[in-house]
Amino acid sequence: MSDFISANGVMFRICYKNGTPAKGKEIYEGQKLCKCPNCINRNKYDRGTWNQVTAWTKDVARLNDLADFLKGWECKSEASIKTTYYDFDSETN
């Protein structure tokens, strides 16, 4: 079971390093399926192959920014690619 929190209309899963809940050690993880024209086209013929990003932050105060990042994210690929992982804290400091 996971807990969720929403920010700017995006749901974030609350998880913990090594899976052990500890106060102050929360990691907020959000996902987005890409709905760019390439992904939409590909899914007409090959369903379920949305490209996607998983991004996380440890700072609850940055959830709104991360939500905006996820909403604006696009895969920029014509092909089906592996999930993109994005550490919002280290990439944007």
Residues that bind Zn ion (CB under 5 A): 34, 36, 38-39, 51, 75
- Name residues whose C-beta falls within 8 Å of residue 57's C-beta, 6 or more positions apart in sequence: 27, 28, 63, 66, 88, 89
Cβ of residue 13: shortest distance to Zn ion, in angstroms? 22
Instruction: Specify the residue, 42 or 63, whose C-beta has the smaller distance to Zn ion.
Output: 42
Cβ of residue 52: shortest distance to Zn ion, in angstroms? 9
Instruction: Specify the residue, 51 or 57, whose C-beta has the smaller distance to Zn ion.
Output: 51
Instruction: Specify the residue, 28 or 69, whose C-beta has the smaller distance to Zn ion.
Output: 69
Cβ of residue 56: shortest distance to Zn ion, in angstroms? 20
Cα separation, 30 vs 43, in Å, equals 22
Cβ of residue 41: shortest distance to Zn ion, in angstroms? 9
Contact 12, 32 (CB under 8 A): no
- Name residues whose C-beta falls within 8 Å of residue 25's C-beta, 6 or more positions apart in sequence: 16, 17, 58
End-to-end CA distance of the chain: 31
Instruction: Specify the residue, 15 or 33, whose C-beta has the smaller distance to Zn ion.
Output: 33
